[in-house]
Structure 1
Amino acid sequence: MALWVLSFCIMAIEAWGSIYFFDTFLKKKSIGQWGKYRYVVLYFASMVVALFGDYFDLMGIKARLIILVFIAFCAVFYEADWKQRIFFSVLNYSLLFLTDLFMLQMENMFVSKNDVLTFLLLPSKMAWLCVVFIVRKIWKGQNNYGELSRKEWLKFSMIPLLTVASMMLMFFCSSTETKVQTAYLFLSVGLIFINILVIELMQGILGKEELLRESALAGQKKESQLAHYRDMQAVYERQGMKMHDYKNQIRTIQVLLKKGDTQAAASLAERLTESISVEMAAVNTNHPVVDAVLNQKFHAAREQGVSMTFRVGDMGGLRLNEEETVILLSNLLDNAIHECMKVVRQGRKTVIQVKLVQEGGKLIFSVRNPVEEKVRVTEGTGLSNVKAVADKYGGDFAVSCDEEKFQAVVML
């Protein structure tokens, strides 16, 4: 009876520690009330696997099953792709089993054969929790795993997989010889430190990628500021020329009124009003930065003979800061205008279709424009910065192109 109680306590510790481990590296899903039952789900799933593994008495099957349970658990309760689920599930089980193996070797070397071996299971779980706490202390909360390529994930995964293979080998090839047990003991400790080192190495790579991204964003910010100053200068020059035209047209209206030609004066005044309205603000989204960027790009496109249509909503509650807003809007619109200028040179009419709305709690920004020919999509500085903004808010960024059109869509 005492053994059963101890087993249930151990599985409870494993379930809690595993959730604590996954919370360190993965972002929890917003699944409402179901999120409160994470512990219960993992506890009973682990219990079923333990009973199943004990029934067949095959450690290899039990190990694979518990890893599959961890992977499925991460898929249900965390926002992670399959590479992250597999990697952290195997890593968690590796650390869990290594501490068990370490305590088992200590047991074999220092505990009498007549003693009950299960007495050291509880200290083993405490040792594993200490390792998890150390890992949590090392990790700085950098969860932007999108910066890691598939090859990097494959390289990182080799260590936990080799660890599991080594553990299985030590478990099935156990020996009563003191030298072998001592070797297994030091090997277990070494593998624990190697797996912790992998976590620290991953953190270092993500930190460097973050610095590179921040450097690129800083460069983009300077470019945006310079572009803004140039555009403001162009606006002032355009306004000066428009003011000269407006004065001439107002004088013409005055002359028509003096002559009594009120119909011609009214028609000219109506056209002048429409022109001023279009010139001042083509778009109004209730957000000053968004309005400034969209109107600025609208006028820049019109001067190049490129039309631009808008479908916009209220951006008053936009969560992006000013810098991110400029980066997101300017890069995609600049690319669209650049491609449309090539089409205009061929004597064809072009229209850029812009959609900027908030639907279902998500921001949707799409730009669609014609192209001269199919464009090979490459991640230049502009698109990389847009992707960085999307990644920061856990959003999606996708581009597509064929022989007729190019389209970019951002969902945050």
Structure 2
Amino acid sequence: MVMEILIRGTVLSLILAMSCRIFYDTIADGREWRHSLTGGTVLPAFLLAFFFIAFTEIPPYLFQPVRMIAAVFIVAQIYYRIRPLQNLLLSTLFCALIWIIQMFASLLIYILYGRGGNRLWGMDEILCYGILLCLMLLFQKVYKGRDGIRAMAGESWGSFIYFPVFSIIVSVALSMLTLDGGREDGNIMLIVTAGFWLINLVAFDMMENILAGRAKAEKMRLSAERNRNQMEIYRSLQQGDECRKRQIHDYKNQLNCIRGLVDDNRTKEALRYIGQLTGSLNESIHQINTGHPVVNVLLNQKYQSAREQQISMTMTMNNLSELSLSEEDIVTLLANLLDNAIEACLKLHGDRRIQLKMVLEEEELFLSIRNPVEWEVKISGKTAAAAKEKSGEHGLGLGNVDAVIRKNRGRSTLQCQEGWFCFTAVILQPQR
């Protein structure tokens, strides 16, 4: 008897763990681990949590759902990239789904067997968890990878907070009802339960479509921003090429001038003139070389732009030849961040300088940009606005930057302290 209970509890816990993992895998991204084997322990972790619930003393009625929600929440927070509040809502929604399906299974057995269904004690759990696993597999097949589902783990989830809250309240209310009548009451409750979850499925699909539309609009905005940045780079390269052509065209006259000075024995003037020519040539030659062609073009372009506006730039770089970010993402990151820094420095009367650090180490890209600001910058989430300005132009493009960082599973921070604005990001690099 004990062995039978142990096997039954283990099997049910395994089904629950599989369902829970499928649910979170469909909605949220898993965390990156230095050892790939660590990420594979998510199923055993969920299994251990449900195994603990199955074989420990049952708490009072009100604490039973709290215990399950806490177990799901803790494991999901460890293994998935998701905010605590969103995780709490999702874990509660998952548990509410279990409760309502279990109630559906109990009602079905009650309708089929009446009060004599007590002899089938425990069959409702088996039926419930079987239905749950089938629903999660269907959920994953239909919604896996869709933009609207991924948006649920992002910023857009907050506007739909009413959906899980309403579902939780109704689910708990339905689970507390008792059947004092005959099978007619059971039929009514079954219809009410099925109707409620049918409405929820329709609402969920509508919510996913709305979030997918928002995600599509965000992609279009990012695409337009990238195109703008790429056109700026193209114009910069074109201007540089035209400048070099003009310099080459002038070489003949310059060489004739030097020859004339030498023929007249005006050696010092000739040397001084050669020095001036050398200096102008050095300014036109790209000096920054990180090993990555796109980074080189961007940094040289922004460096020259800052220099022309009397803004000094100090850079700490290493070899970025192994940088795995796409060219579009690199352009979005550096162009927006450096443009913001240059715009902020132009508002200063002095101390115009930008500090850039871009280092690739141990499969992580560390990116930091600091610049002084005229006024305190108000930081809200991943955006920033100057306190003395209505438009908040200092933060233009930071939304695009944050989208690129989240896309590449990175993290970033914004700070404004002692007159300095600082952006810092760490982006994981996939193994080659």
Q: Shorter chain as normaliser: what TM range?
A: 0.7 to 0.9
Shifted more, 371-380 versus 109-118: the winner is 371-380
Give the counterpart letter for 2:172 in structure 1: A
Which residue number in structure 1 is paired with residue 166 of structure 2?
159
Match for residue 103 of structure 1 among 102, 105, 108: 105
151 and 78 in structure 1: CA distance in 2 versus 1, 3 angstrom threshold: closer
Which residue number in structure 1 is paired with residue 342 of structure 2?
337
Which residue number in structure 1 is paired with residue 119 of structure 2?
115
400 and 4 in structure 1: CA distance in 2 versus 1, 3 angstrom threshold: closer
234 and 304 in structure 1: CA distance in 2 versus 1, 3 angstrom threshold: farther
**For the residues of structure 2 that align with 1:65 and 1:215, how far apart are their CA atoms?**
43
Confirm whether residue 47 of structure 1 aligns to residue 51 of structure 2: yes
Q: Structure 1-normalised TM-score?
A: 0.86
Which residue number in structure 1 is paired with residue 83 of structure 2?
81
Which residue number in structure 2 is paired with residue 363 of structure 1?
365
Which residue number in structure 2 is paired with residue 17 of structure 1?
19
Which residue number in structure 1 is paired with residue 42 of structure 2?
38
Going by fraction, where is helix more abundant, 1 or 2? Answer: 1
**For the residues of structure 1 that align with 2:64 and 2:175, how far apart are their CA atoms?**
11
How far is 1:244 from its partner? 6.4
Alignment of 1:281-300 (within 5 A): 281-300=286-305
RMSD, matched Cα = 2.9
**For the residues of structure 1 that align with 2:38 and 2:250, how far apart are their CA atoms?**
66
Kept in 2, the 8 Å contact 1:246–1:272? The answer is no
Kept in 1, the 8 Å contact 2:226–2:328? The answer is yes
**Percent identity of equivalent pairs:** 27
Match for residue 409 of structure 2 among 390, 394, 398: 394
Which residue number in structure 2 is paired with residue 304 of structure 1?
309
Instruction: Give the number of aligned pairs.
Output: 405
37 and 332 in structure 1: CA distance in 2 versus 1, 3 angstrom threshold: closer
Deviations 1:68-120 (A, max 9, x none): 10001101222222123212211221222222111101111211516333234
Kept in 2, the 8 Å contact 1:90–1:160? The answer is no
Q: Secondary structure of the equivalent of 1:399?
A: strand
Which residue number in structure 2 is paired with residue 131 of structure 1?
135
Confirm whether residue 384 of structure 1 aligns to residue 399 of structure 2: yes
**For the residues of structure 1 that align with 2:9 and 2:420, how far apart are their CA atoms?**
63
203 and 304 in structure 1: CA distance in 2 versus 1, 3 angstrom threshold: same
**For the residues of structure 1 that align with 2:253 and 2:162, how far apart are their CA atoms?**
72
Shifted more, 117-126 versus 86-95: the winner is 117-126
Which residue number in structure 1 is paired with residue 389 of structure 2?
none
Mark the runs of 5 or more structure 2 residues left unpaired by the alignment: 379-383, 386-391, 428-432
227 and 45 in structure 1: CA distance in 2 versus 1, 3 angstrom threshold: closer
**For the residues of structure 1 that align with 2:25 and 2:132, how far apart are their CA atoms?**
16
Deviations 1:31-81 (A, max 9, x none): 433433333332232232233353x4x333222101110001101222222
Confirm whether residue 189 of structure 1 aligns to residue 179 of structure 2: no
Deviations 1:127-164 (A, max 9, x none): 12122122212313242446435742532331342244
Shifted more, 106-115 versus 31-40: the winner is 31-40
**For the residues of structure 1 that align with 2:338 and 2:74, how far apart are their CA atoms?**
41
Give the counterpart letter for 1:40 in structure 2: P
How far is 1:349 from its partner? 4.5
Kept in 2, the 8 Å contact 1:49–1:62? The answer is no
Deviations 1:295-335 (A, max 9, x none): 11111222222222221222212222222221211111112
Give the counterpart letter for 2:413 in structure 1: A
**For the residues of structure 2 that align with 1:361 and 1:327, how far apart are their CA atoms?**
21
Give the counterpart letter for 1:317 in structure 2: E
Kept in 2, the 8 Å contact 1:53–1:59? The answer is no
**For the residues of structure 1 that align with 2:238 and 2:123, how far apart are their CA atoms?**
79
Kept in 2, the 8 Å contact 1:17–1:129? The answer is yes
Q: Structure 2-normalised TM-score?
A: 0.83
How far is 1:26 from its partner? 2.1
Match for residue 408 of structure 1 among 411, 423, 428: 423
Alignment of 1:341-352 (within 5 A): 341-343=346-348, 346=349, 348-352=350-354
Shifted more, 266-275 versus 224-233: the winner is 266-275
Shifted more, 120-129 versus 64-73: the winner is 120-129
Kept in 2, the 8 Å contact 1:373–1:404? The answer is yes
Mark the runs of 5 or more structure 1 residues left unpaired by the alignment: none
Give the counterpart letter for 2:138 in structure 1: I
